Amino acid sequence: MSHNTFGHLFRVTTWGESHGPAIGCVVDGCPPGLQLTPEFIQQFLDKRRPGTSRFVTQRQEEDKVRILSGVFEDDRTGGPVTTGTPISLMIENTDQRSKDYGEIRDSYRPGHADYAYDQKYGVRDYRGGGRSSARETATRVAAGAVARQVLGGGITLRGAVVQIGPHAIDRANWDWSIVEQNPFWCPDAAMVPKWEAFLDTTRKAGSSCGAIIEVVADGVPPGWGAPIYGKLDGDIAAAMMSINAVKGVEIGAGFASAALSGEDNADEMRRSGNGVAFLSNNNGGVLGGISTGQPVVARIAIKPTSSILTPRKTVNAQGEDVDIRTKGRHDPCVGIRAVPVAEAMLACVLADHLLRHRGQTGR
C-alpha cells in the first residue's frame, strides 16, 4: 500500500477529487474469465449512495459506474468477462453545485485534512474536500465488487454498524437478516429506534457522531496471509485505516483481549469432520497473520463527521484566528455509509491474498 494504490497482486489505484469532472479507479491483476457488468458493480455503489434516508447526506449523486477497459464480450464467452488486463472504472461527478468556497478555501476546518494538505503540498483543491473527500470511497466500493467476483460464491462478506455515538448494540440480539432492513445496517432490532432518536437529535442540533462498524468474511479457507509483513490482519488494518475518519481497527476480540486471561483468550480446537472446529473466535479468524478457516472479523472506529454547524475555533491561511461553521449537506454520522466501503476493502484484501497464496503455494 503506498501512494494511491493498494494491493499486491490484486491491485487498486484510485484517483479523483470531490468536485473534479470524475473519480475512478484502475483494478489491475484481476484473474481473467470472471463475469463483470456495470450492473453488478452498481448494486454495491447504490448501497453507499447518498440521499437514501434522512440519516445520510442529502446530496444527489447518481454514482453511475462505467467500465472503460479490461472487460470484453465475445460471442464465445458467456457474457462480458474480465480479460486479465487492467479494469478502468469511472464515475462522473454530477452534483458539483456551483458555490462560493470562500470560507473553506481560506480557513482550515478543524478535524479535516485541510491544514495538513496545505502544510504538505502548499496547494489543495478545497472544493468539497478535494482528494480528502469521502467521495473517493465510491471507487473502492466499485473495486470491491470486482474483488467479490474474484472471491467467488464460497465467501460471504457482510458488514454491520455495532455502535453509534455511545449506543452499542447487544450482541446477543445479532440478526443478519435485519441488517438491510433498516437505514443503519443495524443487526440489533431493539437498537434501531434508539439510534433513530439519537441521530435525529444529533442532526437537528447541527452536530455529528461517531460509530463502530464490524465486517465479517465467512468461508475464508485456512492458509491465506503470510508472515511477517504480509499478514492478512496487517493488510486489513492498513486497508481499514485508509478509510476516511477511521481512527482504530481491531481483529477478533481486539482491544478487549487485553483484559482476558490466557485461558479465556486462546481459541481451543476440536476435530470436526475432516477439519477442525474452534470453540471460540477471539483471534478473529487470523493467527500469525494467516487465516485459520474461522470467520475473519474486523471492527473499525469512525470519528464524528467534522463538518458541523456549531462554530469552532480555527485559523485561516493568512494565519489569523477565526471561527468556522461548516454548512452544506453532510452526513451526521459518516459511519453509516462506511459499511459498504469497509466491506469492499475487506473484499479487496482477501482477493489479493487469495492470489498471493495461490502464487506461492499453488493451492
- 37 lines the binding site for a copy of itself (CB under 8 A): no
Pick between residue 17 and residue 343 the one whose CB is nearest to a copy of itself: 17
End-to-end CA distance of the chain: 25
The site map against a copy of itself for 101-140 (x = CB under 8 A) is ----x--xxxxxx-xxx-xxxxxxxx---xxx---x----
Pick between residue 146 and residue 237 the one whose CB is nearest to a copy of itself: 237
Find the shortest distance in angstroms from Cβ 232 to a copy of itself. 9
Nearest alpha-carbon partner for 225 in 244, 245, 239: 239
Using the contact rule CB under 8 A, the part of the chain among 46-54, 171-179, 192-200, 241-249 near a copy of itself is 241-249
Q: Which of residues 75-94 bind a copy of itself (CB under 8 A)?
A: 77, 81, 83-88
Q: Which of residues 321-350 bind a copy of itself (CB under 8 A)?
A: 321, 335
The site map against a copy of itself for 185-224 (x = CB under 8 A) is -----------------x----xxxxxx---------xxx
- 169 lines the binding site for a copy of itself (CB under 8 A): no
Find the shortest distance in angstroms from Cβ 263 to a copy of itself. 5
Nearest alpha-carbon partner for 191 in 210, 172, 217, 214: 172
With cell 448494486, the residue in question is: 43
**Which residues make beta-bridge pairs with 230?**
226
* Beta carbons of 117 and 132 less than 8 angstroms apart: yes
- 149 lines the binding site for a copy of itself (CB under 8 A): no
Grid coordinates of 73: 464480450
- 42 lines the binding site for a copy of itself (CB under 8 A): no
- 57 lines the binding site for a copy of itself (CB under 8 A): no
Grid coordinates of 139: 471507487
Q: How far apart are CA 24 and CA 94, in angstroms?
A: 14
Q: How far apart are CA 198 and CA 190, in angstroms?
A: 14
Find the shortest distance in angstroms from Cβ 188 to a copy of itself. 16
Q: How far apart are CA 283 and CA 237, in angstroms?
A: 14
Q: Would you give the DSSP letter of residue 224?
A: -
H or E stretch covering 199: helix 192-204
Q: Which of residues 243-302 bind a copy of itself (CB under 8 A)?
A: 247-263, 265-271, 274, 276, 279, 282-284, 286-293, 301-302
* Beta carbons of 239 and 1 less than 8 angstroms apart: yes
Find the shortest distance in angstroms from Cβ 223 to a copy of itself. 4
Find the shortest distance in angstroms from Cβ 206 to a copy of itself. 9
With cell 496547494, the residue in question is: 123
